[in-house]
């Protein structure tokens, strides 16, 4: 895994048993990738990518519950598993705590597509966007 994000689950993310519920695990994945697709991309001068990225496909596999207190964070490791002309596939490993030694509670994969919000349709990645994604997920 090449990009690490630490996300703090909110109290409202917990279900009756104190576990982060399914819908909010998906939100944790989203919050983990925002710094890359929006923050890092903008720093690189990529203004189109942050305007629109849609989830085309999502798969989540639960291995253990995520139980977090009010001050706890979970470690989300992300890797670029496939890059095509118009889609980006990210793989995730969500640890039950902030360290890489904490057990992996969730593995997931999202297929994302850049989206043209003016034309209301998916678009191709620019060459600069593709190079950025390869570089940021290679840890370079």
Q: What is the pLDDT of residues 59-117, one digit of tens each?
A: 999 999 998 876 789 999 999 999 999 999 999 999 998 999 999 999 999 999 999 99
Q: What is the DSSP string of 69-91?
A: -TT--EEEEEEEEEE-SS-EEEE
Q: Are 89 and 45 in contact (CB under 8 A)?
A: no
pLDDT at 125 over 70: yes
Tell me if residue 36 falls in helix, strand or coil: helix
* Mean pLDDT for the stretch of residues 38-55: 92
What pLDDT does residue 140 have?
A: 46
The token duo for 14 is 């917990």
61 vs 109: CA distance, rounded Å: 9
Say which CATH topology domain 3-137 has.
Thiol Ester Dehydrase; Chain A (3.10.129)
Give phi and psi for 9, each to the nearest 5: -65, 145
Q: Are 90 and 109 in contact (CB under 8 A)?
A: yes
């Amino acid at each position: 895994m090449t990009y690490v994000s630490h996300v703090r689950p909110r109290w409202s993310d917990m279900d009756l048993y104190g576990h982060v519920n399914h819908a909010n695990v998906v939100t944790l994945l989203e919050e983990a990738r925002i710094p890359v697709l929006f923050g890092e991309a903008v720093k690189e001068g990529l203004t189109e990518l942050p305007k629109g990225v849609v989830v085309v496909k999502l798969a989540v596999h639960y291995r253990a519950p995520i139980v977090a207190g009010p001050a706890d964070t979970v470690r989300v490791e992300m890797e670029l598993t496939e890059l095509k002309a118009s889609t980006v596939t990210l793989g995730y490993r969500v640890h039950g705590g902030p360290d890489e030694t904490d057990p992996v509670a969730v593995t997931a994969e999202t297929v994302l597509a850049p989206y043209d919000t003016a034309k209301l349709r998916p678009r191709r990645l620019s060459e600069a966007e593709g190079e950025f994604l390869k570089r940021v997920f290679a840890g370079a």
